[in-house]
Amino acid sequence: MLEYLWLVPALPLAGFFALFVTEGKLPDKIVAVIGAGSVGLAALVALGAGMEFVQSGEASYAQSLWTWMAVGNFTPSITLYLDPLSLVMSGVITGVGFLIHLFATGYMWKDHQEPEGYSRFFAYMNLFVFAMLMLVLGDNLLVLFLGWEGVGLCSYLLIGFYHRDPENGYAARKAFVVTRVGDTLMAIGLFLLFRELGSLDIQTALGDAGQLDAGMATAIGLLLLGGAVGKSAQVPLQTWLPDAMAGPTPVSALIHAATMVTAGVYLIARMKGIYDLAPVAQLAVAIVGLVTLLISSFTALTQTDIKRILAYSTMSQIGYMFMALGVGAWSAGIFHLMTHAFFKALLFLASGSVILALHHEQDIFKMGGLWRKLPVPFASMLIGSIALVAVPLTSGFYSKDAILLTAWEHGTGPWFWAGGVLAAFMTALYTTRMMVVAFLGETKTEPHDASRINMWGPLVVLAVLSIGGGWMTFSVLDDLLGAIDHIPHIHPAALVTVVLPLLGIVLGYFVFSGRMNVNSLVESSFGDALRRFWQSGWAFDWVYYRVFVKPFLWVARVNKGDVVDLAFRITAAVTRGFHHVGALTQTGRLRWYAANMAIGLIVVLLIVASV
Amino acid sequence: MAIEVPVEHVLLVAAGLFLLGLLGVLVRRNIIFLLMSLEVMMNSAGLAFIAAGAKWGAPDGQIMFMLILALAAAEVAVALGLVLQISRRFDTLDVDAASELNG
């Protein structure tokens, strides 16, 4: 199977082309088969190739397809590179991706906003899976960058999928522009890497990384971190992710939770060789992760839109991954990436079921009492939530625990651990709030469940993975990124790590089911101001609007006539002036022309004679 | 016995004819006179060729003169057509009347 590795990205690409060239003329049922089937087949091939790869015991497998271009010494090749890291990533992308595609065949069926968009939706989704696979399988940073921009494009197209509402177009543009800031930093990082090492081939570059001096390694590490921060929605480029929820819910599940936003984590893990040389850059990774983690988990506590709660929760979980990479828990970070893909995809898909059953109602305060009416989505949400909160024995517990315990031992002291545990407590609080408000209490909107097996089937599979995904020993990455460090669970730090989220659940239950009255605290002026501050996402959008958007609009308004164009306008005016002068000699009189010719001839003769 | 004419004299006559012709082209407004002046200029050039051919005893001068004759015939054929058109359209033979192609 290993020699068929090229089929893994090729199948979704073929699916994209099939849907793209038929321009939506295919019947919806065939579209569903092509859209979900291509990714499903890719998942099977990836599974087969992965099993053969693990059995072979090799450290890596490279399949060279062709040379992209040859310019002097610069000859990037299209090579698929399979190692444990890219194996885990492509497994998540195709496996979880297939389940989400399957769910989407039901979710997008006869969609009330875009009934014509069924084929377009799956074309974009397949293109996204292709680009994401090129990102993780590419053996060359240029191929990685191709995939990186490809997923950005698909993200843009899918956020703006409901394009009739200008708000969604705005959200799509915002995501595109904000991530572009990070991409620019990343491109500069790649240029520097190429200048210093003369190759963008990942393995060659990492092998030669020892030649970099410390300052250059730090600069490259920080620039690549900039790219990762943009793509993975970390502070300070996180503002696009909550707005990206304007896209259909399966898009939020696949792109803005399970796969694309974790590309930054993948990039940093892939460039481990650089960060090993640049401890400052690695510390920056950890700090970015911690700050994002705290900011977004407090913000999630005050949101009312179920998808925005999950979006902020995604940001905070990716913050955990960044923190893990930063404190040196490389394998644990990727492990958390995988388990997070399971339970966050589950949460998003289940919330999608709820939203669909409530005719696109997303406000949790208008839901209430749904647990009896929507048992499958409720059970799925519950399982996803306990995995998110990291209740012991769920998948999220194993990965988060491994991260926090490595953070405990970090050289700078227990600060990262303390922040992570506080955020874990907040995670428990906001998750409990979401569950209690949306599913318990009185029914406020009557649900209308019309989901079939293609919708609840993926939920069941993902629920099983969310629970059991952490039981297997996650050792494939040991050789590449180092083994996961397990500390015996009688350590005091380990106990706090386990118990605090449980306390959060209990507290959350009592507060949000109304059994404990905290109104005096919430309604005080300080409490209200704090709530509004958190709800706005710590005012990042407010600040960015004033610092970047407004001055830019002002400059655009002042510069309506375009200063740069002035040079061209002057050139045109001068040319036109000469034209008028020249036109004066064009009298149309034959004798005038003859006289000019005679005079010219005499002048020429005089010149010739005088030489 | 042939009379020897110095070549300079012939060239002087040719130059005089050429200037006369040029003057005619520049000052006359009647298009018929314009064409006649052109003929004079061409003949002056032909005369210069003949003189040069006789001086060096080469046949090229005469060949060139015949070329000029053919050229003049062709030119007259075209030019008379133009004269007809101008007299029909502008009802005059004044060449300055046909100055519509100005800038």
The contacts of residue A170 (CB under 8 Å, 6+ apart) are A243
**Residue pairs between chains A and B whose CB atoms are closer than 8 Å:** 36
- Identify whether the C-beta of residue A127 lies closer than 8 Å to the C-beta of residue A136: no
Q: Which residue of A has its CA nearest to B38?
A: A594
H-only helix segments in A440-536: 453-468, 478-481, 492-512, 519-523, 525-535
As a whole number of angstroms, the distance between CA A103 and CA A94 comes to 14
Mutation site for A-interface testing, chosen from B18, B19, B26 by largest number of A Cβ within 10 Å: B26
- Identify whether the C-beta of residue A285 lies closer than 8 Å to the C-beta of residue A324: no
Shortest Cα distance, chain A CAs vs residue B35, angstroms: 12
As a whole number of angstroms, the distance between CA A101 and CA A251 comes to 9
- How far out from the chain centre does Cα A509 lie? 32
With 70 as the cut, is the pLDDT of residue A345 above it? yes
Q: What angle do CA A229, A233, A235 make, to 5 degrees?
A: 65
Identify all chain B residues contacting A584, using CB atoms and an 8 Å cutoff.
Answer: 103
As a whole number of angstroms, the distance between CA A243 and CA A530 comes to 21
- Identify whether the C-beta of residue A513 lies closer than 8 Å to the C-beta of residue A436: yes
Identify all chain A residues contacting B100, using CB atoms and an 8 Å cutoff.
Answer: 588
CB-CB: which of A585, A588, A598 is closest to B101?
A: A588
As a whole number of angstroms, the distance between CA A107 and CA A116 comes to 14
Judged by average pLDDT, the poorest of A175-184, A509-518, B4-13 is A509-518
pLDDT at position A110 is: 81
Percentages of chain B per state (helix, strand, coil), in multiples of 5 = 80, 0, 20
Read off the pLDDT of residues A225-279 as tens digits, 9 standing for 90 and up: 999 999 999 988 989 999 999 989 999 999 888 889 999 999 999 999 899 999 9
Closest CA to A255 of A89, A132, A90, A98: A132
Question: CA separation (Å) from A564 to A75, A395, A570, A571, B52?
Answer: 37, 57, 11, 12, 65
Question: CA separation (Å) from A71 to A208, A267, B94, B96?
Answer: 21, 26, 69, 65
Helix, coil or strand: residue A393 = coil
Closest CA to B95 of A94, B103, B87: B87
Shortest Cα distance, chain A CAs vs residue B1, angstroms: 39
Read off the pLDDT of residues A541-597 as tens digits, 9 standing for 90 and up: 889 999 999 999 999 998 887 888 889 999 999 999 999 998 888 888 888 888 999
Supply φ then ψ for residue A57, to 5 degrees. Answer: 75, 5
The identity of residue A478, as a single letter, is D
As a whole number of angstroms, the distance between CA A481 and CA A470 comes to 18
Tokens of A4: 């068929």
The contacts of residue A26 (CB under 8 Å, 6+ apart) are A19, A34, A119
- How far out from the chain centre does Cα B68 lie? 9
pLDDT at position A609 is: 93
With 70 as the cut, is the pLDDT of residue A344 above it? yes
Mutation site for A-interface testing, chosen from B20, B31, B102 by largest number of A Cβ within 10 Å: B102
- Taking the Cβ of residue B59 and every Cβ of chain A, the question of whether any pair is shorter than 8 Å is answered with no
Helix, coil or strand: residue A77 = strand
Does pTM top 0.90 for this prediction?
no
For residue B1, name the pLDDT band (cuts at 50, 70, 90). low
Q: What is the ipTM of this complex?
A: 0.84
With 70 as the cut, is the pLDDT of residue A490 above it? no
